[in-house]
Structure formats: structure tokens, C-alpha cells
Amino acid sequence: MSSIIDTVIAHHREYFPRSTDCALFASPGRINIIGEHIDYNGGNVLPAAIDKHIYICISRNNDGIIRFVSANHKETGEVAINNLHSPQTKAHAAHAWWVYPYGACVLSNIEFDCGLDFSFYSTLPVGAGMSSSASITVGTLYALYSLNNITIKSKDIALQAQKVEWDFAGVKCGIMDQMAIINGKKDNAIMLNTQTMEFSYIPVDTSTVRFILVNSGVKHSLRESAYNDRRHECERALLTLKKAGFAIQNLCDCSVDDLIQIQNILPQTEYKRTYHVIYENHRVHQFAREIQQYNLKKAGELLYKSHQSLSVYYEVSIPLIDEMVEWASDIDGVYGSRLMGGGFGGCTISMVALYAVEHFTRTIAQKFKKRENRIPQIYECSIEDGTRRIE
Ligand code: GLA
């Protein structure tokens, strides 16, 4: 840990040579074991914080300016405190990487009495579906409250970070990523009820099973608009069902048994989305039961079913990802595999027996190279604590 701290502080000093004291925070990325596209439908999801982080270093300045620099981006951001809330500044930030920490500064509603220099250093891959945007936003909010000695519930930080995505980046995401990142706990997944925001921890025995991400390297240009489209389809389905007399608040209030009736009410596309949502929510509960009883095989089968549903009913997969899941299913020691996150690219997550990790990694890399003519990024993830101050 100390070497990464030294690196991050050295990076900060390089940009801000006048800085004296700096505070250092670590904000993780997340995996989602199961429960995809149901965190905006009131479902239960099972994410976990991981061992890849965005480090946030902050020092005060007397210039009345908030600055954002990153080891991973060339462009730097700069906003005078007096202009923090101006529409022009917001419009200017909208397409920059620093829109997230900037949005966090605005929505925190903190009255800045001096300028701040922020530097970010990431070991979390950007654009791979491990929620780097939620990580940087949650981390910035956590750091701001911590530096100002403000006590705030983790749930409220998560909601503010979600609002940054909605209002500043234009993505109407759910609440899973933010809740996982702020509440992460070593060797535990988070069983989160996205309707009530209540959660409990479910231990994951990482001495027998590992979660491995394989990055397809595909960044779909329609990713964000397609995500918002899916959300609208679900909203339309909900409205239609309510009009038809269903006493529900969210699609996930429906049960698998309701689907027979629902099929006669909804148009085909809305029905397919609803079918995925209801079954996926059901699978999350099943998975939690199986994993707690060490029925790894049965738990893994649910991951394959989740993928099938994301591909056929929710239609957020792509042929490359479908193939990656199929390759995984042929490898001995793999319990399950599926598309992770919003879809249209990003990563697969595979649940692999510890003894099979090396074989899995080698085999997938070979098959991927053959199809794509490039080596994929593969990440073995351990489950770690959530956002915290480290110095
Ligand atoms: C993205 C969003 C999450 C969630 C997933 C799909 O990661 O940020 O809120 O909706 O997609 O499960």
C-alpha cells in the first residue's frame, strides 16, 4: 500500500508543487455478481467493491480556484469558486472527464472558503464497466464531507453521486454502483434492495472461488442512449401495468407467476424487458441462497441464465460477448459467466474455481486473440472495502 501512496502523492506534488498537506482517499470500482438492469426497477442486486481504485489526493490553495488533474487524462479542469454554480461552467464541464468531481463539488452544497487542488490516480480501468464514474464521484463527495467534518449517511452520498450522473452526465443510471462503492466490505458481496435502499452483507469465500473479468474492449457509441432507452421501456411497461390494475410501484414487485397475465397486456418489446427484469430479480434471491450454502455449481448456472436473458430478452449483449460467455462455459472449473454492467460491450464476469484460474485466463486469451487478433485485458478481482480515507 505504501508504494501506491508514495506514487499518488508524488503525482500530486508534480502538478501542485506549492501544496503542503494533502489528504488521500481511495475509492474502489465494483463488480456486479448478479442482478443486471434491475436496480432502476426496484429489484435486488448483488454487487461488491473490488481491489482496483481511484485515488484522490486533495490540498487547499489560496487562489479561489478548484482544479482537477488526472494521471490518466491529459486535459485538466479549472473552475473559480465564484463560478462553480454557473450554467456556463456546467455546460463547459459536460463533456470533460472532470464533469464527475465537478458535479460532486456542486451538488455537495459545500460553501468553499478556499480553493482546492484535486489530483486523481487510477488503477481502475476506465470504460470497462467497473464503474469508474461512480467511483470518482462517490470518492469526491466522501472526501469533501470528510475534509469539512460533515457527517452524512452513506445512502445520501450514493444518492447525490447518482444525481451527478443524471444531471451532469445525462445517464439515468440506477443506484447499484454508488451503493456498492460506498458500502463495500472485504470478502463480502452486498445484497441491496434498490427499492428500500436496505442492504446486508453476504460473505464470499474467495479461497475457493474467484471472479474474473474479461474486457471485450468494445465501447459502443450508443451505450448511454441505449441504456436510457431500456429504462424508458421499463417505465412504459410499469405505467401500462398500473393502468391495467396492477398495484405495483416497480416492475420487480411482480412475480414470475404474474408473467402469464402480463404477456396479454404488454406489447412484445416491453414484455421481453419485463420478463428479464422479473426473472433476474428472482435469480438474485436464488443465487444468494445457493452461494450461502456453498452450492457453487447451482449458483453458477444462474449466471449463465442471467446472461441468456440479458442477450435474448433485454437485448443488451453483442456477438463477441455472447461468444466469450460460451468459451467460458466450455472451460473446466468455470461455474458461470455472463455479461456484466450496462452492456453493448464492456466486460464479462466469470465465477471460476481457484484451481482453474490460470487455465481459464490462458484459454480465454487464446480464443480471444484468434477471433479479435488482440490480447484482451483480464482482471482477477478480490473483494475489498468501500471508499475510505487512507492518509
Ligand atoms: C450501469 C448502471 C447501473 C446498472 C447497470 C446495469 O452500470 O450504472 O446502475 O443499471 O448498468 O445493471
193-206: pLDDT as tens digits: 999 999 999 999 88
Q: Can you say whether residue 43 is alpha, beta or left, with left for phi > 0 and alpha for psi between -120 and 50 degrees?
A: beta
Q: What is the pLDDT of residue 1?
A: 64
Q: What is the pLDDT of residue 56?
A: 98
In this structure, the residue with its CA closest to atom 9 of ligand 1 is 174
In this structure, the residue with its CA closest to atom 1 of ligand 1 is 342
Q: What is the pLDDT of residue 109?
A: 87
- % of the chain exceeding 90 in pLDDT: 93
Neighbours of 331 (CB within 10 A): 18
Burial of 89 (0-12, 13-18, 19+ CB in 10 A): middle
At 221, the pLDDT band (50, 70, 90 cuts) reads: low
**Is residue 90 pLDDT above 80, yes or no?**
yes
d(CA 27, CA 390): 10
The Å distance, Cα 234 to ligand 1 centre, comes to: 14
Cβ(231) to ligand 1 under 6 A? no
Mean pLDDT of 365-376: 98
Residue ranges per structural domain of the chain = 2-203
- Active-site entry in 177, 187, 257, 385: 177
d(CA 180, CA 184): 5
- Phi first, then psi: what are they for 306, rounded to 5°? -60, -45
H helical segments located in the chain: 2-15, 87-93, 99-107, 132-147, 154-164, 176-183, 223-243, 259-265, 268-292, 296-312, 319-329, 357-372
Q: Which of 178, 177, 211, 228 is nearest to 35 (CA)?
A: 177
For Cα atoms 319, 321, 323, give the angle at the middle one, nearest 5 degrees: 70
Q: Which atom of ligand 1 is least distant from the CA of 32?
A: 12
The Å distance, Cα 20 to ligand 1 centre, comes to: 39
Q: What is the pLDDT of residue 222?
A: 53
pLDDT digits (tens, 9 = 90+) for 45-75: 999 999 999 999 999 999 999 999 999 999 9
Cβ(173) to ligand 1 under 6 A? yes
In this structure, the residue with its CA closest to atom 2 of ligand 1 is 173
**Is residue 315 pLDDT above 90, yes or no?**
yes
pTM: 0.96
Chain mean position to CA 325 = 20
Q: If you average pLDDT over every residue of the chain, what do you get?
A: 96
The CATH fold of domain 2-203 = Ribosomal Protein S5; domain 2 (3.30.230)
**Is residue 110 pLDDT above 80, yes or no?**
yes
d(CA 176, CA 192): 8
Name the helix (H) or strand (E) containing 119: strand 115-122
Q: What is the pLDDT of residue 223?
A: 62
pLDDT digits (tens, 9 = 90+) for 134-169: 999 999 999 999 999 999 999 999 999 999 999 999
Q: Is 177 noted as a catalytic residue in this protein? A: yes
**Is residue 87 pLDDT above 60, yes or no?**
yes
Mean pLDDT of 330-342: 97
The Å distance, Cα 171 to ligand 1 centre, comes to: 10
